[in-house]
Structure 1
Amino acid sequence: MNDIIYKTTKEHVNWQEVSDILRRSGLSNHTKEEQETIFTNSYAVVFVYHGERLIGVGRALSDGVCQAAIYNIALEEEFQGNGVGRKLITLLLDQVKGQNVILYTHPRTVALYEKMGFRRSKTAMCIFNGSEESRAFMEEEGFMLPESYRFVDEYGREDMKRS
């Protein structure tokens, strides 16, 4: 795809298009104003264009030295499967080179990230501040394990018991 352009700057971005692509991807319902704040406050960004049309976005938070987290990777469906998403991730990783990187993704894209060198973490934790309905969705989709879930090798361990 020779007509794909990748931008790693935050200038001249149509924030409504960012909001729309993230909404279509099921990743965010934030307004264009909120997306502008979110992406502007991010350490690293990538915006992917096909001509003038925004077709993909991604961002990373970082302390700039040793820790980073990647969020909001979205790519229009018709551009998936041909390396555009891989390039988007690579450009984010280039911006946080040498740092430990955490990536939050949909369970159905785990294999893609494993091919890029990411490994699953057994000890990642989260506090989710959504509604009960959205929390149930997160569990049903596989984003979060059920409360009090234990892996087989944790059964019976004193340090894994809830107090």
Structure 2
Amino acid sequence: MTFPYTIETDPNLVDYDQVTDVLHKAGLGSSSDRSANEKAFKNSDITIFIKDGDKVIGVGRALTDFVSQGAIYNVAVDPDYQKQHVGHTIITTLLEKLQGINIILYTHPQTLTLYEKYGFKRNKTAFSHFGHGTAEGLQWMEDEGFFLPDGYRFESEIGRY
């Protein structure tokens, strides 16, 4: 099967209203985050935009030192284009560009098994600190299952601390 869409990697050659729309439709932000999204993508080391003609239909980005560590963020596909290998193309392109280094990926609990198909492993030693999160946003993340319960301990930790 030939991939019918265009892969754009230059963050200066996309419409950030469209990028914001894709992120919003995928549940990764509000429709008013245009300037923040533009800044985030333009400050990233690697960017991937999938386009159907002039329309942005999928996005993803990564931060990396290109030596040992990288992190993937904002992988999103317009719901009208899901199940057409758009997300697969974003992930595999990012993984190719980050080849040979450790990669972390932060995702929604409902997509955990998707990333396992690409070799990602769940990590029990990671932490997150949301310095700019709102109380409402953090509560949504709590309700969606992003966090382990306060005081949660894996069996191997019990009695060690």
- TM-score, length of structure 1 as denominator length: 0.89
Structure 1 CA distance, aligned partners of 2:110 and 2:33? 26
**Per-residue CA shift, 1:21-68, capped at 9, x if unaligned?**
112222123632221111011010100112221110000011121100
CA distance in 1, matches of 2:76, 2:65: 23
Percent of pairs with identical residues: 44
Q: How much has 1:2 moved relative to structure 2?
A: 3.8
Alignment of 1:106 with 2:104, yes or no, is no
What runs of 5+ residues in structure 2 fail to find an aligned partner?
A: none
- Contact 1:70/1:104 (CA < 8 Å) preserved in 2? yes
- The reply to whether residue 4 of structure 1 matches residue 5 of structure 2 is yes
Q: Please tell me whether the aligned partners of residues 22 and 58 of structure 2 are also in contact (alpha carbons under 8 angstroms).
A: yes
Tell me, in whole angstroms, the C-alpha distance in 2 between the residues paired with 1:123 and 1:140. 21
Question: Which residue of the other structure, out of 140, 144, 148, is the alignment partner of 1:141?
Answer: 144
Residues 53-100 of structure 1: CA distance to partner in whole angstroms, max 9, x if unpaired? 111000001112110000001001122223221111111112222110
| 1:156 aligns to 2:156 (yes or no) | no
8 Å CA contact retained: 1:3, 1:51: no
Q: What does residue range 16-27 of structure 1 map to in structure 2 within 5 Å? A: 16-27=17-28
Q: Within 5 A, what are the aligned runs for 1:63-142?
A: 63-129=65-131, 130-142=133-145
Q: CA RMSD in A?
A: 1.5
Residue 118 of structure 1: CA displacement?
0.6
d(CA) in 2 for partners of 1:43, 1:146: 33
- Give the alignment partner of residue 48 of structure 2, picking from 43, 46, 49: 46
What is the DSSP-based 3-state SS (H/G/I as helix, E as strand, rest coil) of the residue aligned with 2:48? strand
Alpha-carbon distance between aligned partners in 2 of 1:2 and 1:27, rounded to the nearest angstrom: 25
Cα distance in structure 2, aligned partners of 1:21 and 1:72 = 10
Structure 1, unmatched stretches of 5+, are 159-163
Q: What amino acid does structure 2 have at the position aligned with 1:125?
A: F
**Structure 1 stretch 81-90 or stretch 25-34: which is displaced more?**
25-34
C-alpha contact 2:69 2:103 (8 A) present in aligned 1: yes
